[in-house]
């Protein structure tokens, strides 16, 4: 295998018989190039299979067209619909904007060399708060996703989790349910916490007092959803409806219910949160709250990019609204 010398802009310039600058111009689509010369340069580029050295471009331009994505490393996050949609959304946006997406999984302690990216997106502020603060201090553009950050002047794109939970619970009430149980997500997570808040708000609004134990603290895992559901079965007035803080948990709850020989939605109604496509294909399609995860991820990249390019100086604070998707897993209770 011959050691192929990297071809540089100079080689192209030679072959096309023009100056380096001209080559640079055609690379960057500066329109002031004579069509004939342009063609010659392009021929040379193709012939030599030339590809600009990004490091050199960045150095010369003084800016950096890479965005960092930092995800907290806690176990399980990766196996969540949430994380995956974020990665997809951000990846897609980067591909479109021709940005590099530099991916960091971090426990929150690595200093996170931020000089190799133009800006940073934090998939969550939990576990990475220090790094967010540091990034802010350094004046590096950054965005936090899925958290309404009040105590830090940082840009974010978030989802109104509380509103979503209210929708879900209100819907169950509207069907006539009164005995509604909830499996919460991880309450250290803002989303998890706010969904619980929304649930409580709806309950209160309807002037109901829930029996004890109608709220089970979960952590988004299927395992805890299973435990929660088993637990609900043992309650004196058993709930007629379950609101789970994620589709995954809702799905597991449905499995448990069916393993007990009960039917959904006849015996028990279930609503989830996410709109995970997996919840479409079970034996009963899940009614759920759709949150615009992909969209949120995409738009965070766009905002970040605008900040990096200096087009936007103020902080961006966006809160997206989720939406109720009615499918087959809910029905009025038998004995209201």
Q: Which residues bind DNA (CB under 7 A)?
A: 6, 8-10, 18-22, 24-25, 27-28, 31-34, 36-38, 50, 52-53, 56-57, 59-62
Distances (CA, A) of 187 to 60, 165, 180, 236, 245: 46, 14, 19, 26, 10
- Least distance in angstroms from the C-beta of 128 to a second copy: 14
Nearer to DNA, 113 or 150 (CB): 113
CA dist., res. 301 & res. 120, Å (int): 9
262 binds a second copy (CB under 8 A): no
Closest CA to 81 of 293, 326, 299: 293
Instruction: Please answer whether residues 291 and 133 qualify as being in contact, where contact means their C-beta atoms are separated by less than 8 angstroms.
Output: no
64 binds a second copy (CB under 8 A): yes
Instruction: Please answer whether residues 241 and 269 qualify as being in contact, where contact means their C-beta atoms are separated by less than 8 angstroms.
Output: yes
With residues binned 3-state (H G I as helix, E B as strand, rest as coil), the percentages for the chain, rounded to 5, are 45, 15, 40
Distances (CA, A) of 303 to 67, 311, 313: 12, 9, 11
Instruction: Please answer whether residues 308 and 118 qualify as being in contact, where contact means their C-beta atoms are separated by less than 8 angstroms.
Output: yes
In the set 14, 38, 48, 52, which binds a second copy (CB under 8 A)?
A: 52
Instruction: Please answer whether residues 329 and 269 qualify as being in contact, where contact means their C-beta atoms are separated by less than 8 angstroms.
Output: yes
CA dist., res. 81 & res. 89, Å (int): 12
Closest CA to 294 of 159, 170, 168: 159
- Give which of a second copy, DNA, none residue 103 binds (C-beta under 5 to 8 Å, depending on kind): a second copy
Q: Quick one: how far is CA 96 from the chain centroid?
A: 17
- Least distance in angstroms from the C-beta of 131 to DNA: 20
In the set 43, 95, 266, 328, which binds a second copy (CB under 8 A)?
A: 95
CA dist., res. 246 & res. 220, Å (int): 6
Q: Name residue, tokens 């809702």.
A: 250
- Least distance in angstroms from the C-beta of 333 to a second copy: 22
Question: For residue 136, what is the enclosing H or E element?
Answer: helix 129-137
- Give which of a second copy, DNA, none residue 116 binds (C-beta under 5 to 8 Å, depending on kind): a second copy
Distances (CA, A) of 98 to 64, 69, 214, 327: 12, 15, 49, 38
In the set 48, 97, 175, 258, which binds a second copy (CB under 8 A)?
A: 258
Q: Which two tokens stand for residue 228?
A: 């929660």
- Give which of DNA, a second copy, none residue 9 binds (C-beta under 5 to 8 Å, depending on kind): DNA
How many residues of this chain interact with a second copy, rule: CB under 8 A? 56
Q: Which two tokens stand for residue 238?
A: 């058993």
In the set 142, 181, 256, 330, which binds a second copy (CB under 8 A)?
A: 256
In the set 100, 160, 201, 217, which binds a second copy (CB under 8 A)?
A: 100
Nearer to DNA, 9 or 264 (CB): 9
Where does this chain touch a second copy (CB under 8 A) — which range of 19-27, 158-166, 175-183, 277-285?
Answer: 277-285
Nearer to DNA, 114 or 276 (CB): 114
- Give which of a second copy, DNA, none residue 33 binds (C-beta under 5 to 8 Å, depending on kind): DNA
- Least distance in angstroms from the C-beta of 144 to a second copy: 18
Which positions touch a second copy (CB under 8 A)? 1, 3-4, 6, 49, 51-56, 58-59, 64, 66, 69, 78-79, 81, 84, 87-88, 91-92, 95, 100-106, 110, 113-116, 137-139, 221-223, 226, 255-256, 258-259, 261, 277-278, 280-283, 313
């Amino acid at each position: 295998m011959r050691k192929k010398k990297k071809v540089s802009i100079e080689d192209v310039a030679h072959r096309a018989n023009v100056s380096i600058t001209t080559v640079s111009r055609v690379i960057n689509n500066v329109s002031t190039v004579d069509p004939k010369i342009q063609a010659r340069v392009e021929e040379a580029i193709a012939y030599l299979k030339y590809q600009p050295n990004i490091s050199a471009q960045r150095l010369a331009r003084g800016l950096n067209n890479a965005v960092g994505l930092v995800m907290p490393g806690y176990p399980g996050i990766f196996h969540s619909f949430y994380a995956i949609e974020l990665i997809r959304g951000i990846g897609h946006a980067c591909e479109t904007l021709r940005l590099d997406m530099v991916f960091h999984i971090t426990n929150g302690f690595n200093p996170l060399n931020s000089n190799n990216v133009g800006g940073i997106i934090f998939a969550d502020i939990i576990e990475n708060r220090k790094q967010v603060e540091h990034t802010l201090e350094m004046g590096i553009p950054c965005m936090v996703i899925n958290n309404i950050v009040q105590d830090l002047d940082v840009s974010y794109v978030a989802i109104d989790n509380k509103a979503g939970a209210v929708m879900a619970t209100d819907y169950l009430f509207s069907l006539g349910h009164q005995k509604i149980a909830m499996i919460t997500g991880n309450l250290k997570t803002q989303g998890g916490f706010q969904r619980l808040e929304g649930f409580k708000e709806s309950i209160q609004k309807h002037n109901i007092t829930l029996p004890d134990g109608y709220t089970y603290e979960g952590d988004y895992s299927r395992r805890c959803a299973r435990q929660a559901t088993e637990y609900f079965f043992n309650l004196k007035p058993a709930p007629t409806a379950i609101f789970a803080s994620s589709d995954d948990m809702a799905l597991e709850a449905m499995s448990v219910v069916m393993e007990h020989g009960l039917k959904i939605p006849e015996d028990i109604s279930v609503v989830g949160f996410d709109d995970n496509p997996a919840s479409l294909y079970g034996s009963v399609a899940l009614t759920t709250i759709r949150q615009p995860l992909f969209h949120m991820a995409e738009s965070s990249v766009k905002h970040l990019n605008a900040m990096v390019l200096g087009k936007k100086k103020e902080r961006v604070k966006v809160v997206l609204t989720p939406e109720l998707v009615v499918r087959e897993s809910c029905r009025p209770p038998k004995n209201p």
